[in-house]
Amino acid sequence: MKSLRSNKHQKLIALLTAARTKAGLTQQQLADQLGKPQSYVAKYEGGERRVDVVEFLAIADALGIDPANAVREVAAKYNSK
Protein backbone atom coordinates (compact mmCIF):
# COMPACT_ATOMS: atom_id res chain seq x y z
CA MET A 1 0.00 0.00 0.00
CA LYS A 2 1.43 3.32 -1.05
CA SER A 3 0.61 5.99 1.52
CA LEU A 4 2.60 8.96 0.22
CA ARG A 5 0.06 11.47 -1.13
CA SER A 6 -2.83 9.17 -0.23
CA ASN A 7 -6.04 10.63 1.14
CA LYS A 8 -5.02 9.77 4.72
CA HIS A 9 -1.57 11.25 4.20
CA GLN A 10 -3.02 14.50 2.87
CA LYS A 11 -5.34 14.77 5.86
CA LEU A 12 -2.45 14.21 8.27
CA ILE A 13 -0.38 16.88 6.50
CA ALA A 14 -3.30 19.32 6.67
CA LEU A 15 -3.74 18.64 10.40
CA LEU A 16 -0.04 19.11 11.19
CA THR A 17 0.22 22.25 9.06
CA ALA A 18 -2.88 23.75 10.68
CA ALA A 19 -1.54 22.89 14.15
CA ARG A 20 1.77 24.59 13.35
CA THR A 21 -0.01 27.69 12.09
CA LYS A 22 -2.32 27.72 15.13
CA ALA A 23 0.73 27.45 17.39
CA GLY A 24 2.11 30.56 15.69
CA LEU A 25 5.25 28.77 14.54
CA THR A 26 7.11 29.11 11.27
CA GLN A 27 8.55 26.04 9.61
CA GLN A 28 11.98 27.19 10.76
CA GLN A 29 10.88 27.57 14.39
CA LEU A 30 9.33 24.12 14.42
CA ALA A 31 12.39 22.63 12.75
CA ASP A 32 14.60 24.27 15.37
CA GLN A 33 12.53 22.67 18.15
CA LEU A 34 12.86 19.30 16.44
CA GLY A 35 16.59 19.69 15.82
CA LYS A 36 16.03 19.37 12.08
CA PRO A 37 16.59 21.63 9.07
CA GLN A 38 13.67 23.74 7.83
CA SER A 39 13.52 21.54 4.71
CA TYR A 40 12.43 18.60 6.91
CA VAL A 41 9.20 20.42 7.82
CA ALA A 42 8.76 21.78 4.28
CA LYS A 43 9.08 18.32 2.77
CA TYR A 44 6.51 16.62 4.97
CA GLU A 45 4.13 19.59 4.74
CA GLY A 46 4.56 19.56 0.96
CA GLY A 47 3.73 15.87 0.77
CA GLU A 48 7.21 14.90 -0.42
CA ARG A 49 8.08 13.02 2.74
CA ARG A 50 6.22 10.74 5.09
CA VAL A 51 6.78 10.88 8.85
CA ASP A 52 7.06 7.72 10.90
CA VAL A 53 5.37 7.21 14.26
CA VAL A 54 8.35 8.35 16.32
CA GLU A 55 8.70 11.51 14.20
CA PHE A 56 4.96 12.13 14.45
CA LEU A 57 5.12 11.93 18.24
CA ALA A 58 7.99 14.44 18.33
CA ILE A 59 6.14 16.80 15.98
CA ALA A 60 2.93 16.53 18.01
CA ASP A 61 4.86 17.26 21.21
CA ALA A 62 6.55 20.30 19.66
CA LEU A 63 3.18 21.58 18.46
CA GLY A 64 1.48 20.94 21.80
CA ILE A 65 -1.14 18.62 20.35
CA ASP A 66 -2.34 15.27 21.66
CA PRO A 67 -1.13 12.66 19.15
CA ALA A 68 -3.99 10.27 19.95
CA ASN A 69 -6.58 12.96 19.28
CA ALA A 70 -4.77 13.90 16.06
CA VAL A 71 -4.88 10.30 14.83
CA ARG A 72 -8.58 10.04 15.74
CA GLU A 73 -9.27 13.26 13.84
CA VAL A 74 -7.47 12.04 10.73
CA ALA A 75 -9.27 8.69 10.93
CA ALA A 76 -12.66 10.36 11.38
CA LYS A 77 -12.09 12.68 8.43
CA TYR A 78 -10.91 9.77 6.32
CA ASN A 79 -13.86 7.58 7.25
CA SER A 80 -16.37 10.35 6.57
CA LYS A 81 -14.70 11.19 3.24
Domain map (residue ranges) of the chain: 7-80
5 contacts 11 by C-beta, under 8 angstroms = no
pTM to 2 decimal places: 0.87
Q: Give the integer Cα–Cα distance in Å for 58 and 52.
A: 10
Based on the number of CB atoms within 10 Å of its own CB, is 67 exposed (0-12), middle (13-18) or buried (19 or more)? Answer: middle
- CATH fit for domain 7-80, picks 3.90.79.10, 1.10.8.50, 3.40.50.1000, 1.10.260.40: 1.10.260.40
Contact at 8 Å (CB) between 52 and 21? no
Res 8: pLDDT: 83
pLDDT of residue 80: 60
Chunk the chain into consecutive blocks of 10 residues (it has 81) and report each block's average pLDDT, rounded to whole numbers. 73 96 98 98 95 97 97 80 52
C-alpha dihedral (69, 70, 72, 74), degrees to nearest 10: 160
Q: Say what the pLDDT of residue 37 is.
A: 98
